[in-house]
Structure 1
Amino acid sequence: MEKRTPVFFFTPFVSSTMRVEAAWIDYNGHMNMAYYHVLFDRALDEGFSLLGLGQEYVEERKASFFTAEIHTLYKRELTLRDQVRVTLQLVDYDEKRMHYYMEIRHAAEGWVAASMEGLSLHVDMETRKVSPFPEDIAANLAVMRAAHARLAKPEASGRIIGIPDQPDKPEALLASGTRH
């Protein structure tokens, strides 16, 4: 079934307002890390449904998208009843993959609580194998990517996890031949 290409996409896409739920608060008195991903996932569903990749796509066309990799940075605590909105920027895509960047922002004050970079794969649900996007979905991706190309590349995109080298660490001193 051929879908019509949307005329435009918001840059970036901004989700509906969501509220931190009581069950998500852990013994530290803030939202547990797992629920940041619930918010990211809900917003991703909202944003990618505009591309035609919603529940109907799975039911009618027997295809979907699966998350292959994510990298999350937690920047600020969220607490009970905080309201947030999630932004989504399509960074890149190819015939089978989507690379995107998201931020959870406090809805009233605008500060960033967390960011997430992700890579999702288009999957044929009957074979459970990665497969190319249909032409109409690829066209929608092209429109979204063109709209989002005007945005700056996210600073946190492509980060590598690790502890930076510090000159006073024993390992760094040994490597440089310096002794105390």
Structure 2
Amino acid sequence: MEKRAPIFFFAPFVSSTMAVAPAWIDYNGHMNMAYYHVLFDKAVEEGFSLVGLGQDYLEERKGSFFAAETHTLYKRELKAGDPVRVTLQLVDFDEKRVHFYLEIRHATEGWVAATSEGLSLHMDMRARKVAPFPDDIMANLAVMKAAHGRLAKPPVLGRVIGIPNKAGINEPLLVSGTRH
């Protein structure tokens, strides 16, 4: 069953408000890093359900999307009970992939707790293989990208992890005579 594209998308998409659960707090007294990904994942599900990639898509059409790569930056601690919202910006897509950017923000104070850049792959769940998006999903992604394309490109996209040298350039780590 094809899903029609919404008339417009908020840019960026803003998730419902979620709260940091007490069980997510680690021995350092702040939210454990794993639960930042729980919040990001909930927002991805909420945001991409608008283009037709929700649980009903899996159940009715046997399609879904899987995370292929993520890059997370932790900027500020979250504590038990903190209210948060997650923004989602569709950066790009092609026939089999979506590239997106997320920010977890304190819902009442507005500061950014963490960012995540993600790349997900569209899956044919019958074959459990990467497959092209159906035409209606592609059309919906195009509408979302048109709205999100007006947003500034997040400066952290494509960031490389490493310890910068004095010139500010990341070099491979030299361990036991080999580069890693």
Instruction: Give your verdict on TM over 0.5.
Output: yes
2:147 maps to what in 1? 147
Distance in 2 between the 1:8 and 1:47 partners? 13
In the alignment, does 2:119 pair up with 1:119? yes
Deviation (angstroms), 1:117: 0.0
Alignment partner of 2:67: what SS?
Answer: strand
Deviation (angstroms), 1:2: 1.9
Deviation (angstroms), 1:3: 1.5
1:9 maps to what in 2? 9
Runs of 4+ more than 6 Å apart: none
1:65 maps to what in 2? 65
What stretches of structure 1 of length at least 5 have no aligned partner? 172-180
Alignment partner of 1:60: what SS?
Answer: helix
Equivalent residues in 2 for 1:65-84, closer than 5 Å: 65-84=65-84
In the alignment, does 2:98 pair up with 1:98? yes
Deviation (angstroms), 1:131: 0.3
> What number of residue pairs does the alignment pair up?
168
Alignment partner of 1:49: what SS?
Answer: helix
What stretches of structure 2 of length at least 5 have no aligned partner? 172-180
1:34 maps to what in 2? 34
In the alignment, does 2:55 pair up with 1:55? yes
Deviation (angstroms), 1:4: 1.1
1:176 maps to what in 2? none
Q: Per-residue CA shift, 1:57-84, capped at 9, x if unaligned?
A: 0000001000000000000000010000
Q: Per-residue CA shift, 1:31-65, capped at 9, x if unaligned?
A: 00000000000011000000100000000000100
Alignment partner of 1:50: what SS?
Answer: helix
CA RMSD of aligned residues (A): 1.0
Distance in 2 between the 1:130 and 1:121 partners? 6
1:24 maps to what in 2? 24
Deviation (angstroms), 1:156: 0.9
Letter of the 1:88 partner, please give it.
L
Question: TM-score, length-normalised on structure 2?
Answer: 0.92
Letter of the 2:87 partner, please give it.
T
1:45 maps to what in 2? 45
Distance in 2 between the 1:2 and 1:110 partners? 37
Alignment partner of 1:71: what SS?
Answer: strand
1:87 maps to what in 2? 87
1:164 maps to what in 2? 164
Q: Per-residue CA shift, 1:101-129, capped at 9, x if unaligned?
A: 00000000100000000000000001010
Distance in 1 between the 2:80 and 2:89 partners? 27
Distance in 1 between the 2:130 and 2:102 partners? 23
Deviation (angstroms), 1:5: 1.2
Alignment partner of 2:56: what SS?
Answer: helix
Deviation (angstroms), 1:166: 1.7
